[in-house]
Amino acid sequence: MTATTSRVRTPAGTMNTTTSRTERPERVTVAVHAADPVLRLGVVQQLRQRPEIDLLADTDAERAQVSLVVVDHVDDDVAVLLHRLRHNTDTRTGLVVATLGSGALQRVIECGVAAVLRRAEADQDQLLRLVLAIANGEGVLPGDLLGTLLAHVGSLQRSALDPRGVSLSTLTTREADMLRMVSEGLDTAEIARKTAYSERTVKNVLHEIITRLQLRNRAHAVGYALRNGLI
């Protein structure tokens, strides 16, 4: 709190001194969510040193302007948390994550995440920039992830502009990614880890491809996709 002093001339010609107080700018309220207490503590300690930030206790997390979710990777439990935070219209969500594949990027955006920061880059200054950007209604993505997102959006736009290009043999981005991993020799568990989906979801996606294209098995699906330039 700072004070400023001004002199005001009265009608009688005397000088009165008045003091007004300039209020400190309102701080951004932040809640940090992390299943791993070590990850949470690291981010909390960084932000606690910044006068622009007002860190909230878990009991007050619902009234945060910015919710930061700190994780190693995005799995089903993280997706559930992100969906829950999305329903709180008073908060915007940012993600601090160690690894994030293209499939997981689409998933977190669908969950309402406004900004993403890789944990390896999450020093005090970067965390502050992330929080302030989210509070100002901005979106933040690392450059390579932004390129991935733009490519995906472009693909969707091309499909919308040319409906004739969409057929039963067209694969979604997620389907193509999973088939590509099958072609590289990855099993269900490995694909689940790389895409941040559950093993059940991976099995369902691959089964849907095989059924829709009337193929026999995964190997047949990979061969079909390669022959038709789908992966």
- Out of 18-32, 48-62, 131-145, least confident range: 18-32
> Per-residue pLDDT tens for 132-154?
999 998 888 877 666 665 555 55
Coil, strand or helix at 188: helix
CA distance 193 to 190: 5
- Residues 6 or more apart whose CB falls under 8 angstroms from that of 188 comprise 199, 202, 203
Q: Name the amino acid, one letter, at 4.
A: T
pLDDT tops 60 at residue 57: yes
Q: Which fold has domain 28-148?
A: Rossmann fold (3.40.50)
CA dihedral angle for residue 149, residue 153, residue 155, residue 156, rounded to 10 degrees:
140
- For residue 110, the Cα-to-chain-centroid distance in whole angstroms is 9
Compute the average pLDDT of residues 111-117: 89
171-228 under CATH 1.10.10.10, yes or no: yes
Enumerate the domain spans of the chain.
28-148, 171-228
What percentage of the chain carries pLDDT values higher than 90?
A: 43
- According to the model, what pLDDT value does residue 102 have? 66
CA distance 46 to 68: 13
